[in-house]
Copies of this chain bind each other. A is one copy, B any other.
Amino acid sequence: MGEEREAAREAEIGRIREEIDRLDEQIQALITRRAECARRIAEIKKEAGDAEAFFYRPEREAQILRRVLERNRGPLSDEEMARLFREIMSACLALEQPLNVAFLGPEGTFTQLAAFKHFGHSIRSRPLPTIDEVFREVEAGSVHYGVVPVENSTEGMVSHTLDRFLNSPLYICGEVELRVHHYLMAVGGRIEDIRRVYSHRQSLAQCREWLDAHLPQAERIAVESNAEAARRASRETRAAAIAGEATAHIYRLRILASNIEDEPENTTRFLVIGRQQVPPSGNDKTSLLLSAPNRPGALFRLLEPLARHGVSMTRIESRPSRRGLWDYVFFVDVEGHRSEDKVAAALAELEREASLFRVLGSYPRAVL
């Protein structure tokens, strides 16, 4: 009986494998036709003498991915299905124009992950040691795009990216979000034995409630990066680090607690920078650089047109200006594309009021 069941199972698996083989053949035929279509579009654009940088169309990719997600009914997760389509698009694009993408290195960082998440793996990626150099390479045209952190909860380099836009003609062409989890890790032992917790200042802040509840006795020591925190914890017996999961493996630390961030949807955000103004995708954001005259209530008045035209502000951050003309500059993200009527109307009013006004870019909202 057992043997019969075994034989029936084997036969069933054999039938399913044959079906997989047939499916693979069809998938391949369709991917091939898709690549031929992409090549044909590139040929038409080349005949028309279009600039090379514009083979890549961020708004079109965002639209395709949104449709992929709308159609997805499982069993593959939305993340996995989106990933496969990003890779298919990446391969088709590379046929005609392999994209060169610079990112804030070194390899193995979240920024590299973000670059691959956005562009797929058929790109030539180039790690650079500073945000400034990523901007310079894109400005010089030696790469097509750059990827830089802008709200980076673990590496703390937010401000420099925004400041750099003050002196750059580049546009924001896209945003990438990565979900980031924090882990408490140590050489060994129990949570209650921990006397010191090392981490980057921002990570410590993001886990404050958890630390208050579980490690009230431990000293919190801010260090320059989470990797440095792990390195220190690996050399002490009663110390722990807060860092990402991969870091624990690198430094051979045991994970004592997982997902200890107070805000479970803790994401890190990256910007794709380029020389291209992206047309609307149907679900976009617009980033602005503003400065108000230095008068009481000036900022409030400055932002009033956004409210009046029903444009939602998703983020505002003030930065001390380095130019001397303004005390502060503001980085503002709003919902919608600059070509949409209400956004255009609000921006026109804003521009009249602001002493400094620049649209850093309209770009598709991050898809997943």
Q: Which residues of A contact B (CB under 8 A)?
A: 6, 9, 12-13, 16-17, 19-21, 23-28, 30-41, 44-45, 47-48, 60, 64, 67-68, 71-76, 80-81, 83-85, 87-88, 91-92, 94-95, 105-108, 112, 121-122, 126-129, 133, 246, 249-250, 252
| With contact pairs A24-B34, A28-B71, A76-B95 given, residues A249 and B128 touching in the complex (Cβ less than 8 Å) | yes
Question: Once the chains bind, are B37 and A249 in contact (CB under 8 Å)?
Answer: no
Residue of A16, A19, A28, A250 with most partner-chain B CB within 10 A = A28
DSSP majority for the A interface? helix
Question: Once the chains bind, are A129 and B252 in contact (CB under 8 Å)?
Answer: yes
CB distance from A99 to the nearest CB of B (A): 14
The CA-CA distance from A20 to B14 in the complex, in Å, is: 33
| With contact pairs A28-B85, A81-B31 given, residues A20 and B38 touching in the complex (Cβ less than 8 Å) | yes
CB distance from A75 to the nearest CB of B (A): 5
B17, B28, B84: the one within 8 Å of A91 (CB): B84
Question: Once the chains bind, are A34 and B27 in contact (CB under 8 Å)?
Answer: yes
Please, which residues of chain B bring their CB within 8 A of the CB of A91?
A: 76, 80-81, 83-84
The 4 A-B pairs with the shortest beta carbon distances in the complex, nearest first, are A107-B108, A80-B91, A108-B108, A126-B249
Q: Please name 25 pairs of A and B residues whose Cβ atoms are closer than 8 Å in the assembled complex, sorted by A.
A: A9-B47, A17-B60, A19-B33, A19-B37, A20-B37, A20-B38, A20-B64, A24-B67, A26-B30, A27-B85, A27-B88, A28-B68, A32-B72, A80-B91, A80-B95, A80-B122, A105-B249, A106-B250, A107-B107, A107-B108, A121-B121, A126-B249, A127-B250, A128-B249, A129-B250
The CA-CA distance from A19 to B133 in the complex, in Å, is: 40
Question: Once the chains bind, are B34 and A20 in contact (CB under 8 Å)?
Answer: yes
Please, which residues of chain B bring their CB within 8 A of the CB of A45?
A: 13
Question: Once the chains bind, are A72 and B9 in contact (CB under 8 Å)?
Answer: no
The CA-CA distance from A250 to B103 in the complex, in Å, is: 11
CB distance from A239 to the nearest CB of B (A): 20
CB distance from A26 to the nearest CB of B (A): 5
Question: Once the chains bind, are B12 and A23 in contact (CB under 8 Å)?
Answer: no
